[in-house]
Amino acid sequence: MDSLIFILKVVLGTVLFTLILWYAQSRHPRAAGMMLTFPALNGLGLLTAESHDLPLMARAMLPMIALNGCLCTAYIGLQRWLASASPGLPCVGRAWLGVSCGVLLWSGGAYWGAPLLQSALLSSLSMLLFIGLYAIGSTPFVVRLWRLPLDAQSVAGRLPFWTLLHTQWLRVGGVALLLSVVMLVAQYGATAWAGRLSALPLLPFYSLMMLTCPQERQATSVARLVQVGSTALLGPLVAMLCVWGFMHYLLLLPLASTTVSYILLGSGGLLSFWGMSGLLIWGVLKGLEALHAGDPLTKSRWLCNP
């Protein structure tokens, strides 16, 4: 029975991530930027954990989610700089250089930075304070990036779902493997590292690598990356709120984590929180579009001009 549940969780997580990846390749690059850190693996990691491990896992996830958003933005900034400073460098070389730097920084953050922050996130209030500080600190950068004009040539049509499965099967397999590793680590008691591994930016880095080397001229690929990066810092805010809320939801369930009722209620709650995260992403994008169109803050010289 345990093996069957394990397989079902891996399959469900892989399907969900494939759907997220499909949406990320749509003709809305700014929406794709917020989807880079969508809390799919985070929610599954919490759902598969024991109830007494939930606060520890959530505390481990929050710093890594914030780091992932920063790394995605830094990756795109590096690609933009390399495209202008070293135009002769192949896109594959630029992509692997960016991913290598990102993985090294992520590893350092997971090993040194995350434990320090995790030790400070001892209560629900401190978690909310961390989320609030991230929101305040990222706001100037979001406003600056959002003002970049949308290049019509950088917006592609929606990729057919079956075409994505055919061309991106390696990434789909990687997600399944990562899900398996996370659940195995959580099962053997390394709860903090399970929380950090569930925040591993596998999908973001794969997606950014694909956008770095599309079958089109380099200028268009860089322009698309810039549009994706304009909202990459907003995605972690949605993900952290989802993790915080879903943790409290699971703690309210007066059931053992191995019971069928807990799994059903937890799965339903996770789908609800994913749905609310999607609505929040849509609302934030609509709000920023309205703000950019009419609010003088987005036209402030000291805040927006290079």
Boundaries of domain holding 255: 2-304
pLDDT tens string 72-103: 999 998 988 888 888 888 888 888 999 999 98
Give the C-alpha separation, 227 to 149, whole Å: 8
CA–CA distances in Å: residue 95 to residues 142, 153, 168: 23, 21, 17
Residue 152's pLDDT is 53
Give the C-alpha separation, 306 to 279, whole Å: 32
Residue 124's pLDDT is 92
**How many residues can be counted in the chain?**
306
pLDDT tens string 235-288: 999 999 999 999 999 999 877 666 778 888 988 998 899 899 989 988 888 887
pLDDT exceeds 60 at position 40: yes
Higher per-residue pLDDT: 75 or 31: 75
- Cβ contact 298:292 at 8 Å: yes
Give the C-alpha separation, 48 to 140, whole Å: 37
Rounded to 5°, angle at Cα 145 from 140 and 146: 100
Give the C-alpha separation, 203 to 232, whole Å: 13
pLDDT exceeds 50 at position 301: no
Residue 253's pLDDT is 87
CA–CA distances in Å: residue 192 to residues 55, 107, 113, 188: 10, 14, 13, 11
pLDDT exceeds 50 at position 298: no
Residue 306 — very low, low, confident or very high, per pLDDT cuts 50/70/90?
A: very low
Checking 139-145 for CB contacts under 8 A at 24+ apart, the result is 140/303, 141/73, 141/233, 142/230, 142/231, 142/233, 142/234, 142/288, 143/297, 143/298, 143/303, 143/304, 144/303, 144/304, 145/73, 145/229, 145/230, 145/231, 145/233
SS (H, E, C) 171-239: HHHHHHHHHHHHHHHHHCCCHHHHHHHCCCCHHHHHHHHHHHCCCCCHHHHHHHHHHHHCCCCCHHHHH
- Cβ contact 102:79 at 8 Å: no
pLDDT tens string 109-142: 878 887 888 888 989 999 999 999 999 999 999 8
CA–CA distances in Å: residue 273 to residues 37, 38, 247, 259, 294: 14, 11, 11, 21, 31
Copy the structure tokens of residue 270.
């996770």
Count of domains for the chain: 1
Neighbours of 135 (CB within 10 A): 16
- 């520890």: which residue's tokens? 56
Q: Whole-model pTM above 0.75?
A: yes
SS (H, E, C) 97-122: HHHHHHHHHHHHHHHHHHHHHHHHCC
Across the chain, what does the average pLDDT equal? 78
Amino acid at 102: G
Neighbours of 77 (CB within 10 A): 15
